[in-house]
Every structure is written in structure tokens, then in C-alpha cells.
């Protein structure tokens, strides 16, 4: 049981720390599970429940951090044209991934997620993209997430679809897309947070529905450990990320992706 609790802590920590930074939480989870003794960790049914609920922990973290902003949005929505514009922009941005994700869900889960070497290659390529974007002298026109135009928001939404390739990173693709479309670093990261709410909630609901017959709470303690760990670690990331990227940019995440991708490939070669 002690070993299982440690594995639950590790997986919850990985989910929470990587969900909202541009390094691919799913890619990291797949690689970590590849090298941990996860085969004896949980039963297949409980593992499905574990994966779904640690993602819910990360969702709760971003909802908690932005709770006051969300309440303010709800209060001003009926009378504020700016708030109405922002809510529609987030919804328009969410639609491309919602449609494509629903149509391609089984292929993504059963084919792309089962290829760890592909994840490593995509991590490396995405790392070089982050390094390149960080060096480009962009001239941002938008400095507040609420000022994204509808075409800009829809463009970010299509960038988000790239994250269906495991290893790409949902936050990475949306942040890079927003930067290239004219946002500054802080507003790009913040819009990515807001877009994460419907996107992750939708993905969670779809996963929950697809796996509804396989869910089990037989290993409730381990599932709860993973959930709480994901929630706490994601809470830390969401509260600190905006200030970090404003000061340091995205190059540290680019180098991290490259290092993890190279190490992953090196460790996978003996396995293959």
C-alpha cells in the first residue's frame, strides 16, 4: 500500500504541475506511467477513475483561483458589453476543439496516446517552437485577456486543436497561438486559463461518459490521494504562472520539454 500511495502522489503531482504550463500534462503522465510500476498500482477500472478524477482536481484549482473573477463575470454579464464579448470569445475559442475532440476521441485515446516515442518527439519539437517564439520580437496589440477579438479567439481555438496530438500541450498551443495573433505574454497565459475551464470540463465530461461502465471507487484512498495532490499542485502553478512568464518568458519550458523528450527517447530505446 505504501508503494501505491507514493505512485498516486507522483501521478497527482505530475498532473497538477504540468496541466497549465506549456509542457503537456498528458505527455508527462504517459511517460511517467511507462516507467513506474503502474501495472500493479490499480485495477484497470480504478485506473480509469483515477485518471479522470485527478484531472478534475486540476479543474477545481483553476476555478478556485479565478472564483472572484468568475463571480464578477456572472454579475456583470447581463449589462456589460465587454463581459458579454469576453464570454462569447471564450466559447467561440472552445468550439473547434469541442467538435474535433468529440469526433476523434477514440482515435486520440486508443492510438496516439499509446505511442510514447511519438510523445517524446512532439515534446522536443514543441520545445524548439517555444524557444523560437520566445526569441521573436513580437509587437503585442492586446494586453488584457478580455480584449481578445472574436477572430483572434477563434484562431486560438484552432491552435488548441493541435494539443490533440499528445505531447503538444493544450496550454502551450493556446499560448503560442495567442502570442502569434497579437497578445502579450501575460494576457496569452490568462486567456489560456479561461479557455481551460470549458475545455477541461468538456474533456472531463466526455471521458466520464465514455468510461462510465468501467469506473470504480474500489481503490478510493489512492484515487483521493491523487485528486488532492493534483488540486494542490495545480493551485500553486495557477497562482504563480502569470508572474513567472511575465518575468522569464517561455524559454524555461522549452528547454524542459527538450530535456524530457530526449531522456524519454533514451529510456524507451532499451524497452523497444
Q: Which residue has the cell 488532492?
A: 228
142 forms bridges with which residues in the sheet?
A: 183
What integer pLDDT is reported at residue 53 of this predicted model? 81
Q: Give the three-state DSSP class for 183.
A: strand
Cell numbers given for 211? 468510461
* pLDDT of res. 183: 95
| Separation of alpha carbons 241 and 180, rounded Å | 19
Given a contact cutoff of 8 angstroms between Cβ atoms, the answer to whether 194 and 59 are in contact is: no
The pLDDT of residue 61 = 93
pLDDT for position 114: 66
Residue of 13, 8, 11, 109 lying closest to 61 (CA atoms): 13
- Where do the domains of the chain lie? 2-271
User: In this predicted structure, what is the pLDDT of residue 137?
Assistant: 83
75, with CB counted inside 10 A (0-12, 13-18, 19+), is exposed
Q: Is 142 helix (H, G, I), strand (E, B) or coil?
A: strand
Average pLDDT per run of 10 along the chain, which is 272 residues long?
Answer: 86 93 89 73 65 85 93 95 96 92 74 78 95 89 94 95 88 94 93 91 76 65 90 94 87 95 88 52
pLDDT at site 84:
96
Q: What is the dihedral of CA 188, 250, 114, 201, to 10 degrees?
A: -30
Looking at residue 212, what is its pLDDT? 65
Question: What are the residues whose beta carbons fall under 8 Å from the beta carbon of 19, sequence distance 6 or more?
Answer: 25, 55, 58, 171, 196, 200, 230, 234, 237
Q: What do you get for the CA distance between the two ends of the chain, in Å?
A: 30
Amino acid at each position: 500500500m505504501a508503494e501505491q500511495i507514493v505512485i498516486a502522489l507522483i501521478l497527482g503531482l505530475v498532473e497538477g504541475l504540468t496541466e497549465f504550463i506549456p509542457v503537456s500534462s498528458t505527455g508527462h503522465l504517459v511517460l511517467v506511467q511507462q516507467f513506474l510500476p503502474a501495472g500493479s498500482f490499480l485495477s484497470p477500472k480504478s485506473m480509469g477513475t483515477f485518471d479522470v478524477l485527478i484531472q478534475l482536481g486540476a479543474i477545481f484549482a483553476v476555478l478556485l483561483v479565478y472564483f472572484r473573477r468568475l463571480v464578477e463575470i456572472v454579475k456583470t454579464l447581463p449589462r456589460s458589453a465587454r463581459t458579454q464579448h469576453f464570454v462569447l470569445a471564450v466559447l467561440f475559442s472552445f468550439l473547434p476543439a469541442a467538435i474535433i475532440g468529440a469526433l476523434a476521441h477514440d482515435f486520440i485515446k486508443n492510438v496516439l496516446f499509446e505511442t510514447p516515442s511519438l510523445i517524446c518527439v512532439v515534446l522536443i519539437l514543441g520545445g524548439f517552437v517555444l524557444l523560437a517564439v520566445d526569441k521573436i520580437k513580437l509587437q503585442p496589440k492586446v494586453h488584457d485577456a478580455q480584449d481578445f477579438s472574436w477572430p483572434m479567439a477563434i484562431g486560438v481555438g484552432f491552435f488548441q486543436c493541435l494539443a490533440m496530438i499528445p505531447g503538444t500541450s493544450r496550454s502551450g498551443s493556446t499560448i503560442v497561438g495567442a502570442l502569434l495573433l497579437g497578445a502579450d505574454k501575460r494576457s496569452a497565459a490568462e486567456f489560456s486559463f479561461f479557455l481551460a475551464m470549458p475545455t477541461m470540463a468538456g474533456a472531463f465530461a466526455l471521458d466520464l461518459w465514455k468510461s462510465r461502465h468501467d469506473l470504480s471507487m474500489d481503490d478510493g484512498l489512492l484515487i483521493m490521494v491523487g485528486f488532492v495532490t493534483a488540486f494542490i499542485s495545480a493551485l500553486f502553478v495557477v497562482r504563480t504562472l502569470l508572474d513567472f512568464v511575465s518575468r522569464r518568458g517561455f524559454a524555461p519550458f522549452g528547454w524542459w520539454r527538450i530535456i524530457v523528450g530526449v531522456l524519454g527517447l533514451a529510456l524507451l530505446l532499451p524497452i523497444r
